[in-house]
């Protein structure tokens, strides 16, 4: 929970941001982000080998596999994965790859079974991934069944959310989230239900789509009639966290609710523990690498961005909420029950394809970012560190100019307040 002192500091920072006439004194000049990061196959491969392989990725909600024995396939990160709610109550993830000849062990998108049985030759695994039975075992000489289980994918929960990680060496999910795990307590992730989850294909690099949701600089132009009347963008306060995560908090304009920009009824359940800031501001987190989400007393609605080639991506829209009444299922991001994006997201995505074309053209070299867009630069710095700066061709790197003095809990603006 935010302490009264934290709230007071945030309020002061909002006024500081509204009053300043230039970036804070110690904020660095941001060198251009090379356009190649959005169009160059080398960078795309580096992202695959490092970012998608080593980050914690939101894969599922417990409501999708509510009972022991329930399983679901998950392939959004390009790897074949099956997530299983085990008899033990734990949630496990495995490569959906039979250790015999590689057929998928699970072919249905979702289901429930006491054992997972490969349909090719009938090898059978339990919920812990152990190989329990094979046909005609006498015809395999020296096959040690105990070493032929399904290969494990790291899987950890934050409340009802299920994350996976393909890196055995990665920190735990809680270490990865750092202070954000505590800041999120007021939103009660252990109580939120999954109301909707949809996916949309977009014709641009995944970062172009994500970055449209990582700054408020675009609000007054792109969202002139939707978000702008509600959100006071000049009072936005960005916070940068370790591991590339970020947060924005922008107060609502007087008398406006933080659902004011979208077409959703206020007559829905609320999470009582949500504090003053999240009730009166647009508070939104960027969790590295691909999660952007506002959170408030009504909803936890993450947007996730997944690459689908260099110049294509998929936008996944989730709405989570406290339990709702029959017939009042909240869905923040879509119209027509998941068939179309809502107006605000259509606005956000309007230029994606054209920006991709620009970045692929001879006429575009790099992206100059303002102080308001600092979270995008911070993300890129963290991405390069995760990849390993030396592995990145020089012309595709970003310079590491935002120093630790800007990483939470450090904040040079606080010294400038009084
Ligand atoms: S590939 Fe699965 S049993 Fe042969
Ligand atoms: Fe937007």
8 Å CB contact between 7 and 276 = yes
Chain centroid, CA 61 distance in Å? 13
Chain centroid, CA 327 distance in Å? 28
Structure tokens at 325: 């009444």
Nearest ligand (C-alpha, residue 250): 2
Nearest ligand (C-alpha, residue 140): 1
8 Å CB contact between 281 and 250 = yes
What is the structure's pLDDT at 51? 98
What is the structure's pLDDT at 262? 65
> Among the atoms of ligand 1, which is closest to the Cα of residue 103?
1
Residue whose CA lies nearest to ligand 1 atom number 1 = 101
Query: What residues line ligand 1, using a CB cutoff of 6 Å?
Result: 98, 100-101, 103, 118, 120-123
Chain centroid, CA 121 distance in Å? 38
Structure tokens at 133: 């039975």
Domain extents in the chain: 4-54+179-415, 57-158
Residue whose CA lies nearest to ligand 1 atom number 3 = 121
**Positions in the chain whose pLDDT score sits under 70:** 260-266
Element (H, E) at 179: helix 179-183
Going from the Cα of 398 to the center of ligand 2, the distance in angstroms, rounded, reads 24
The architecture that CATH gives domain 57-158 is 3-layer Sandwich (2.102)
Topology of the domain covering 4-54+179-415? Naphthalene 1,2-dioxygenase Alpha Subunit; Chain A, domain 1 (3.90.380)
Q: Which of 123, 137, 149 to mutate to test the pocket of ligand 1 (most atoms within 8 A of CB)?
A: 123
229-271 pLDDT, tens digit each:
999 999 999 999 999 999 999 999 988 887 766 666 667 899 9
What is the structure's pLDDT at 264? 67
What is the structure's pLDDT at 266? 66
What is the structure's pLDDT at 255? 84
Going from the Cα of 164 to the center of ligand 1, the distance in angstroms, rounded, reads 25
């Amino acid at each position: 929970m935010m302490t009264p002192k934290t709230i007071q500091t945030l309020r002061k920072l909002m006024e500081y941001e509204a009053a300043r006439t230039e970036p804070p004194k110690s904020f660095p000049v941001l060198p251009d982000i090379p356009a190649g990061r959005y169009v160059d196959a080398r960078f795309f491969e580096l992202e695959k080998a490092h970012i998608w392989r080593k980050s914690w990725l939101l894969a599922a909600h417990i409501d999708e596999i509510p009972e022991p024995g329930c399983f679901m396939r998950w392939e959004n990160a390009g790897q074949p994965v099956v997530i299983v709610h085990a008899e033990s109550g734990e949630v496990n993830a495995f490569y959906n790859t039979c250790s015999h000849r590689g057929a998928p062990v699970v072919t249905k998108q979702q289901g429930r079974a006491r054992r997972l049985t490969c349909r090719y030759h009938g090898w059978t695994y339990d919920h812990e991934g152990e190989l329990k039975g094979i046909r005609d075992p006498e015809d395999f000489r020296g096959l040690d069944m105990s070493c032929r289980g399904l290969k494990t994918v790291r899987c950890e929960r934050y409340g009802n959310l299920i994350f996976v990680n393909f890196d055995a060496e990665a920190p735990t999910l809680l270490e990865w989230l750092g202070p954000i795990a505590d800041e999120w307590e007021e939103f009660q992730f252990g109580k939120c239900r999954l109301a909707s989850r949809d996916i949309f294909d977009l014709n641009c690099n995944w970062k172009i789509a994500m970055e449209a949701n990582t700054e408020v600089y675009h609000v007054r132009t792109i969202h002139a009639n939707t978000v702008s009347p509600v959100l006071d963008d000049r009072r936005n306060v960005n916070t940068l966290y370790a591991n590339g995560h970020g947060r924005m908090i922008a107060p609502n304009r007087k008398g406006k609710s933080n659902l004011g920009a979208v077409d959703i009824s206020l007559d829905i359940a609320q999470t009582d523990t949500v504090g003053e800031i999240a009730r009166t501001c647009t508070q939104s987190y960027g969790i590295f690498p691909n999660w952007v989400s506002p959170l408030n007393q009504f909803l936890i609605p993450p947007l996730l961005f997944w690459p689908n080639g260099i110049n294509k991506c998929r936008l996944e829209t989730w709405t989570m909420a406290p339990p709702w009444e029959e017939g009042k299922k909240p869905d923040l991001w879509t119209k027509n029950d998941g068939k179309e994006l809502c107006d605000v997201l259509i606005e956000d995505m309007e230029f994606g394809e054209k920006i991709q074309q620009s970045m692929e053209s001879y006429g575009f070299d790099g992206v100059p970012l303002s102080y308001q867009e600092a979270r995008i630069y911070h993300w890129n710095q963290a991405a390069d560190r995760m990849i390993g700066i030396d592995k990145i061709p020089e012309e595709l790197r970003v310079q590491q100019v935002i120093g630790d003095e800007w990483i939470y809990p450090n904040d040079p603006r606080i010294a400038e307040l009084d």
